[in-house]
């Protein structure tokens, strides 16, 4: 087991290197880098001042920068060095978990990620909890009533929910319950109200949960189908196996067979997916949902960073999320050993 874990950890190094190399190469060919974006912004500002009649001459951004100023600007963003040198410097920083500083926010990438985490954690954590709390019992109920009217109707409802995109459902919920054309029952934006600081502890909790109803509902409806049908199919597969027939022949009660034997084996693929789903819930942002409900999370940060060519944020967040993803995959594999003692990794490590 120790050899296997060490081997997997060592394999993460070339994987991370390959991911960062590909992203860095792509970045070099994307037009409109941070220098060009800043020059375009200066020209736009100069045009605005000229239109307003301010000053006797042209604004410097409208005139254009001379060679020395342009060179200083490129050095400020680190583009005065060749691409291989910049890539090597980036790797050395990332080896010490120094993600650098954002070009536009003027603060460290770590500070930005931590600042946006509360929104993504709120959306992801409640989506994860509600998905598994509803889907696993529903999957068990569908398996025990396989082929019944309840099974058919619930499957139809799940598939309809799965087919509706989250942002479309979010728009519908806003129109119905957010003061669009019908009722104004839920707030439209943010995680808290303006009077948050003056509320009691219970009032703050209620206000926080009330703000989450619409965005979490938009995200969670589509996730019910996957986990529910996975639970149902896993149970049905186990119920058809020989050991279940043997247990029934010995006179064991159906309830004991289900929860002491069948459910324990059927839940293996679900439990092993917990780490990835749990970590993904904390670090996954939803751009459309965050934009729709005016939530400033990781999804919106990633989109704005790409559009502004904020390369430290783009590459730094990619490094962090790739590392977390690789570690989560390792934890998921190790979960097989915890829930199924028959699984051994000794042979894979040789």
Per-residue pLDDT of the chain (350 residues; tens, 9 = 90+): 788 788 888 888 999 999 999 988 888 777 766 666 666 666 655 555 445 544 444 344 444 556 666 666 667 666 777 888 888 988 998 989 988 888 888 888 899 888 888 888 888 888 888 888 999 899 988 988 888 899 999 999 999 988 888 888 888 888 888 766 677 777 777 777 777 778 888 888 888 888 888 888 888 888 888 889 988 888 888 888 888 888 888 877 877 777 777 877 777 777 777 767 767 666 655 778 888 887 888 878 888 888 878 888 888 888 988 888 888 888 877 777 776 666 666 554 44
- What confidence score (pLDDT) does residue 128 get? 85
Domains and CATH numbers, the chain: 31-98 (no CATH), 112-339 (1.10.3720.10)
- What confidence score (pLDDT) does residue 280 get? 67
- What confidence score (pLDDT) does residue 39 get? 66
- What confidence score (pLDDT) does residue 64 get? 54
Q: Please, are residues 207 and 199 in contact by the beta-carbon 8 Å criterion?
A: yes
Q: What is the DSSP string of 10-32?
A: HHHHHHHHHHHHHHHHHHHH-SS
Strand partners, 108: 101
Cβ within 8 Å of residue 78, ≥6 positions away: 86, 89
Q: Please, are residues 76 and 312 in contact by the beta-carbon 8 Å criterion?
A: no
CA separation for the pair 142, 154 (Å, rounded): 8
Q: How far is CA 290 from CA 74, 219, 303, in A?
A: 33, 11, 11
User: Token pair of 211, please?
Assistant: 């703000």
- What confidence score (pLDDT) does residue 42 get? 60
Cβ within 8 Å of residue 46, ≥6 positions away: 58, 59, 60, 61, 62, 63
Q: Please, are residues 273 and 128 in contact by the beta-carbon 8 Å criterion?
A: no
Q: Please, are residues 290 and 302 in contact by the beta-carbon 8 Å criterion?
A: no
| Residue 108 three-state SS | strand
- What confidence score (pLDDT) does residue 138 get? 92
User: Token pair of 266, please?
Assistant: 């059927």
pTM here is 0.73
């Amino acid at each position: 087991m120790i050899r296997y874990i060490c081997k997997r950890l060592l394999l993460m190094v070339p994987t991370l290197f390959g991911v960062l190399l590909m992203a860095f190469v792509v970045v070099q060919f994307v037009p409109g880098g941070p220098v060009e974006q800043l020059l375009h912004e200066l020209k736009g500002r100069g045009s605005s001042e000229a239109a307003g009649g301010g000053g006797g001459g042209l604004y410097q951004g409208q005139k254009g920068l001379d060679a020395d100023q342009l060179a200083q600007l490129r050095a400020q963003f680190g583009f005065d060095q060749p691409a291989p040198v910049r890539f090597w410097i980036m790797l050395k920083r990332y080896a010490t978990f120094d993600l650098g500083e954002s070009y536009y926010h003027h603060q460290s990438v770590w500070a930005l990620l931590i600042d946006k985490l509360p929104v993504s954690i709120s959306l992801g954590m409640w989506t994860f909890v509600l998905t598994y709390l509803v889907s696993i019992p529903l999957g068990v109920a569908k398996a025990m009533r396989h082929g019944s009217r309840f099974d058919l109707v619930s499957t139809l409802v799940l598939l309809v929910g799965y087919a509706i995109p989250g942002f479309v459902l979010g728009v519908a919920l806003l129109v119905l319950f957010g003061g669009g054309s019908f009722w104004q029952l839920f707030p439209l934006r943010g995680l808290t109200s303006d009077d948050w600081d003056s509320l009691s502890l219970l009032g703050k909790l209620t206000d926080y949960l009330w703000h989450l109803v619409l965005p979490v509902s938009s995200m969670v409806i589509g996730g019910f189908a996957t986990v529910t049908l996975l639970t149902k199919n896993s149970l049905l597969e186990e119920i058809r196996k020989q050991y279940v027939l043997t247990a029934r022949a010995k006179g064991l009660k159906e309830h004991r067979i289900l929860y002491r034997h069948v459910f324990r084996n059927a839940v293996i693929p679900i439990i092993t997916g917990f780490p990835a789903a749990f970590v993904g819930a904390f670090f996954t942002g939803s751009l459309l949902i965050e934009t729709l409900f005016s939530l400033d999370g990781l999804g919106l940060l990633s989109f704005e960073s790409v559009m502004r060519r904020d390369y430290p944020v783009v590459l730094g967040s990619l490094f962090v999320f790739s590392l977390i993803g690789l570690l989560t995959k390792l934890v998921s594999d190790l979960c097989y050993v915890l829930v199924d003692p028959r699984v051994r990794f000794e042979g894979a490590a040789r």
